[in-house]
Structure 1
């Protein structure tokens, strides 16, 4: 899509305050939503499947996630006093918490889902509380830590994609567990591979690359419908418009172990959001200081804390949309806000949510291979920013990823531990994060080790660098990717001033 000449906002000279014609604003807003829509709907479908929800119940989760993603985008882009970065950032349901939620839910169905909701509420509030200290806490999550964790997130979700394709080995009939006659059905595997092939084919077309997963899901679902593999029961009787029902699955359940696991995931989200705020500031060529980062984090954590009320999950800034801002040259936050409005309206349509919930599992499985693989690849790209020469970082990465994958390859590994410990360690992301933080402190912070002969060349997208953390902590800011002169101490406002 070509850049359109726009009229600057007379109220301010910031590039992000640019106002575009109405039709241009809407069209670019929709483009932003198409670029991230597949990721938003995938999370509630994954979680709904893990909790054993019906098609109708999955539609409730999808609607809640669309609604809250739209609300979060509006809060982040338009902003309120002390809340929202007022930058062109699209907010959506984060993949960083999926592995943790799957571990919390386990085999407990809706009770496990309610426990996950309770953990999200408390973890979101903890995230809000630690914002004043985040300039220090973020130092616990350098690239060697976040890269390891993000890699584990992607890899630990691969069994989910496989189960979508094959189904479970057993099914329950009349209260008894029997062999599933449809397990690993070649037709389902073929449908999954067709969906994956479609995604790859669409990715070859430059203008379709960013919506390749969405298009793959749409065409794959159409093929599934022609093969009689669509369940339309959840659509019948649904209304065109309806407000999300608060606590549709019951009141949240609060368990300490689940809260600890979720808090770790929330801290990872905060690191990612901080990196995305700094990145979009560079793309837009606008001033980003400590206070602006804090406002962005408050929008993130505030919406995440209330998300379970409307049957949704933690939100974060979507990095792919930062890339879309750079690609199109459209820096207006109002265009992104228009996209947020579209998301919110979709969340207010039970019928639209039910249609999304009709996507058959094999189609999701084919898309999941690409989607989850992309998450893992993003983590690997982050790890290429790590300095391996003359350090033990290769060991930190190796052991962290290994510990994160233990519960994936051996689900019963921690079953002999007390329940609270098992809930924490059975989450790949928690195991990887705890291991990576501790090993990074042990080898790189407390007593740095400099072994000889241990070198490796090994890059992600954006992460918060040591220089950026120091400048932000000292009250400085960035403009057009360059450090602005650090403010005098007396003019510096702490990161959580509001």
Structure 2
């Protein structure tokens, strides 16, 4: 038997402490983009996004209907499909399943240049070929994406900031046209519409000034509702179509018949998709900037483009033009300070519900365009400011960067400020030149490469050659 241990000098007789469990560490804080909020608030903020952006699918479908002479029943079906696909795309971009969507507060919409190209193809080759062109272009985006991803290194803050400024100016013009109408059209710059647009801006400012908390975050929606109420008081709210149709609308698949695939006819749309990828790059970066989230462009930008392509692929089978990420909601996020991507996911859910509920679709469509335009101008101008902020970090004190930005802005804003400037060019070339965003991005990227990548290398080789010659 072993004897018990004796007390020896210098021996520690205190009992051996039992091992303790490590102190629990606080979980990593949730970024505001990934933060969930009470369902009621998420829905309210989501509805605010919907009210601001609803004019885009409505105007896109009505333009399709008027240009192509579609019957009212088909127009309602396309409007239903536009809302549903806008909602699906918003869910994809906001929630980011697998490699689709950057998990940022994004919404998706039809319209813009892709709609004009869709109409041009439809008028020349028929609607079945136009829908086939959308499907082909969506597939083309998947094929070309790996090549495009390798070029993202040539899109620094200088290039993207310039592009976002052009995007913002272009969108402000779109909002202004909703208020004034197109120059030369009947009723252009009607004083009542101008008053409604300016009053809506004033209401929005007043709510943002006087309210705090949630009500202040809802200032955009409250301003739009107040403008609509004023329009009703002035007798400029047409409710004649609000109660038309049944309760449920189910958008049919292939409303124009089986798509026809013609590569030559689809070429203009496929070329434009390259510009759309560049625009998606800028919007992804500025969206991340607006919500204060660090992203890896090499993964986030391709995810956005995949979301665009997938939604457009679905939309093609429902007779819609290309669906693209929208910059509209970025302005709302910045104005309200609500950064959660679950808000735009809620907006997507509301859009899907609107697409299936005919009375809601008709009710939203009666909001006067002047009121929507007044709201849109404020929201879109915020995007321009975000571009200016990004340019502020692009070291414009360097004369070279100032020169690059100036040239890109001059050429990018030209087709926006002077519509029809390229009317005398061939149609295939005019498609690209009339996209101010594409021109601005291309010029800024090329000049950035010339001045910051090629020129330093050439200068270094010249110095080396001169040194060797002196020896």
Q: Calculate the TM-score normalised by the size of structure 2.
A: 0.72
Structure with more of its chain in helix, by fraction: 2
Q: Distance in 2 between matches of 1:434 and 1:215?
A: 39
Consecutive unaligned residues of structure 2, counting only runs of 5 or more, are 1-26, 460-471
1:239-388 equivalences under 5 Å are 239-246=246-253, 248=255, 254-273=265-284, 276=287, 282=293, 298-310=306-318, 311=320, 313-315=323-325, 319=330, 337=345, 340-388=348-396
Give CA deviations for 1:87-116 in whole Å, capped at 9, x if unaligned.
4x443126xx8653476478x697499698
The match for 1:151 is 165
Answering whether residue 79 of structure 2 is matched by residue 66 of structure 1, we say no
Determine if contact 2:105/2:343 at 8 Å carries over to the other structure. no
Give CA deviations for 1:28-50 in whole Å, capped at 9, x if unaligned.
43144135224432432453565
The match for 2:22 is none
Q: 1:58 to 1:228 in 2, by over 3 A?
A: farther
Q: Distance in 2 between matches of 1:372 and 1:116?
A: 30
Shift of 1:418: 0.9
Q: Distance in 2 between matches of 1:224 and 1:193?
A: 12
- Please state whether the residue corresponding to 1:387 is helix, strand or coil: coil
Determine if contact 1:72/1:303 at 8 Å carries over to the other structure. yes
Answering whether residue 430 of structure 2 is matched by residue 422 of structure 1, we say yes
- What count of residue pairs does the alignment treat as equivalent? 417
Answering whether residue 203 of structure 2 is matched by residue 201 of structure 1, we say no
Consecutive unaligned residues of structure 1, counting only runs of 5 or more, are 1-11, 172-179, 452-498
Shift of 1:154: 2.1
Determine if contact 1:59/1:357 at 8 Å carries over to the other structure. no
The match for 1:165 is 179
The match for 2:107 is 92
Answering whether residue 43 of structure 2 is matched by residue 30 of structure 1, we say yes
The match for 1:138 is 152
- Please state whether the residue corresponding to 2:107 is helix, strand or coil: strand
Give CA deviations for 1:376-418 in whole Å, capped at 9, x if unaligned.
2222222222112335111221111111221123223211211
Deviation larger for 67-76 or 196-205: 67-76
Give CA deviations for 1:438-490 in whole Å, capped at 9, x if unaligned.
22222222224999xxxxxxxxxxxxxxxxxxxxxxxxxxxxxxxxxxxxxxx
Q: Calculate the TM-score normalised by the size of structure 1.
A: 0.68
Two-structure CA RMSD over aligned residues (Å): 4.3
Q: Distance in 2 between matches of 1:14 and 1:130?
A: 37
Determine if contact 1:241/1:349 at 8 Å carries over to the other structure. yes
Give CA deviations for 1:200-238 in whole Å, capped at 9, x if unaligned.
122223333443332222221222122221233433422
The match for 2:234 is 227
Determine if contact 1:44/1:61 at 8 Å carries over to the other structure. no
Q: 1:229 to 1:248 in 2, by over 3 A?
A: farther
Shift of 1:421: 0.6
Q: Distance in 1 between matches of 2:118 and 2:106?
A: 24
Q: Distance in 1 between matches of 2:207 and 2:45?
A: 17
